[in-house]
Amino acid sequence: MNRDAALELIKEVLADVVPGADPTALSPEENFRDTLEMDSLDFLNLVEALSGRTGLPLPEADYPSLNTLNGCADYIASHTSPA
């Protein structure tokens, strides 16, 4: 998956997981867990959804890479084969 597709995907999943959130208003380096007031269960829902959509296992050790839009996009792009 290329980086742009990954970015779209993460925004789509965020909008799903956090009702009422507008991911398009997030800045790329912002910690969205804080901005969107996501608790650990919300975050788990996000990780689960991302894992389901990408097929990546997303181990717990990698959670810190998944706090920002850029972080997620880079992670997904680098862990999936280019589309």
Partner 1 sequence: MAEFTMPSLGADMEEGTLVEWLVSPGETVTKGDVVAVVETAKSTIEVECFDSGTISALLVEPGTTVPVGTPMASIDSAVAPPARPAAKQPVTPAPAPPPDLQPVPGRPLTRTERAVSTPLVRHLAEEKGIDLSTVHGSGRGGRITRSDVEHAPTEPPPRLRASPLARRLAQSMGVDLGGLRGTGRNGTIRADDVRAAAVDHLPREAEPREPVEKPVLASPAESAPGARAAIAALMTRAKREIPHYYLSTKVDLAAAMAWMRDQNTGRPVAQRLVPVALLLKAVALAARQVPELNGHWKDDAFVPANGVRLGIAVSLRGGGLTAPALADADTMPLPELMAALRDLVSRARGGRLRASETTDPTLTVTNLGDQGVEAVFGVIYPPQVALVGLGRVIEQPVAVNGMLTVHPTVTATLSADHRASDGATGARFLTAIERLLQRPEDL
Residue 82: CB minimum distance to partner 1, A: 24
What does the radius of gyration of the chain's CA atoms come to, in whole angstroms?
11
Alpha-carbon separation of residue 32 from 51, 77, 80, 83 (angstroms): 18, 19, 23, 26
Binding status of residue 18 toward partner 1 by CB under 8 A: yes
Does 35 bind partner 1 (CB under 8 A)? Our answer is: yes
Query: Is the CB of 23 or the CB of 71 nearer to partner 1?
Result: 23
Task: Indicate which single residue of 7, 13, 38, 72 sits in contact with partner 1 (rule: CB under 8 A).
Answer: 38
